[in-house]
């Protein structure tokens, strides 16, 4: 059962985090794009397991216009593997040959919400805090489409404690403090600023100075904060969107936070397992 997904566009002009295709070191890169030959169970829909970082795997539902990354799912039955949370999964493995054998069922409530968006000129059908609908990314924080609302949960895991966390939400978990909390709070605040102000969003010098102080000379965390502070020069605030120099340091900080996201997701997995067993 899939309980959370992230959506990525196909075109470079619409999504800077799109699934890349082409060659890597002369070898073809795998793609979730539906094939134009052979028989699919659903026209132009292709569920498939693809390789991910660190020899892990990710489950993707590919369509012609987007690819849908599964970020939360549950396996049922005897001997089911552990519940995954995040962009990698071991619950289901679908190879190319078996892709057309898998049936997909949609939740009625979520399908109705999707139809509302399709039929009316709206971009929201929920009052949910939008920060939870930003994707788990670690790059391109200076690009506006990084902040598109492209992540959503099913009814079973609608509570925030049951949703896999991202670089933008890890600050909400209680087992994070010091320099890590300063970094997580900064990315959370940057995400909210762009949601509210779009390309006019800024980050304030005083906030960065406070986050730097919270780092308390914590080794590798200090340098990127110092570099960000130096970008202000005599200004009280700097733009987020279009600021490649700021992005370079945010990417360093995001990479440093990766382990804390994994730790937070372990807590979420435990909560989901309790929910399923209750």
Say if CB 2 and CB 73 are below 8 A apart.
Answer: yes
**Position 47 pLDDT exceeds 50:** yes
What dihedral do alpha carbons 223, 229, 230, 231 form, nearest 10°? 120
Tens digits of residue pLDDT in 197-208 = 999 999 999 999
Quick: pLDDT tens for 54-91.
677 889 999 999 999 998 887 766 555 556 667 676 66
Higher-confidence residue of 155 and 187: namely 187
Label residue 26 by pLDDT band (50, 70, 90): very low
Indicate the SS3 state at residue 151: strand
What is the three-class DSSP state of 50? strand
pLDDT digits (tens, 9 = 90+) for 239-262: 999 999 999 999 999 999 988 888
pTM above 0.75, yes or no: yes
> Which residues, other chains included, contact 102 with Cβ-Cβ below 8 Å and sequence gap of 6+?
41, 47, 94
Q: What are 50-63's pLDDT values in tens digits?
A: 877 767 788 999 99
Average pLDDT (110-135) is 76
């Amino acid at each position: 059962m899939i309980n959370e997904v992230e959506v990525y566009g196909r075109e470079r002009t619409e999504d800077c985090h799109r699934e890349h295709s082409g060659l890597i070191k002369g070898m073809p890169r795998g793609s979730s794009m539906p094939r134009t030959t052979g028989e699919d169970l659903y026209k132009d829909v292709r569920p498939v397991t693809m390789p991910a970082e660190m020899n892990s795997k990710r489950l993707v539902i590919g369509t012609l216009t987007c690819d849908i990354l599964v970020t939360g799912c549950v396996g049922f039955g005897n001997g089911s593997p552990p519940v995954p949370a995040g962009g990698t999964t071991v619950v289901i493995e679908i190879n190319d040959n078996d892709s057309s054998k898998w049936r997909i069922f949609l939740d009625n409530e979520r399908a109705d919400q999707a139809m509302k968006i399709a039929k009316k000129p709206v971009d929201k059908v929920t009052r949910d805090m939008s920060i939870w609908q930003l994707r788990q990314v670690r790059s391109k924080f200076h690009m506006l489409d990084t902040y598109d609302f492209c992540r959503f949960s099913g009814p079973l895991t609608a509570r925030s404690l049951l949703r896999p966390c991202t670089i933008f939400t890890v600050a909400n978990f209680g087992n994070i403090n010091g320099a890590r909390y300063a970094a997580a709070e900064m990315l959370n605040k940057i995400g909210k600023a762009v949601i509210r102000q779009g390309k006019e969003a800024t980050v304030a010098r005083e906030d960065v100075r406070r986050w730097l102080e919270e780092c308390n000379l914590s080794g590798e965390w200090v340098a990127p904060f110092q570099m960000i502070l130096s970008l202000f020069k005599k200004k009280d605030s700097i733009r987020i969107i279009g600021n490649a120099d700021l992005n370079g340091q945010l990417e360093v900080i995001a990479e440093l936070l990766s382990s804390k996201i994994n730790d937070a997701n372990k807590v979420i997995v435990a909560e989901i397992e309790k929910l399923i067993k209750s």
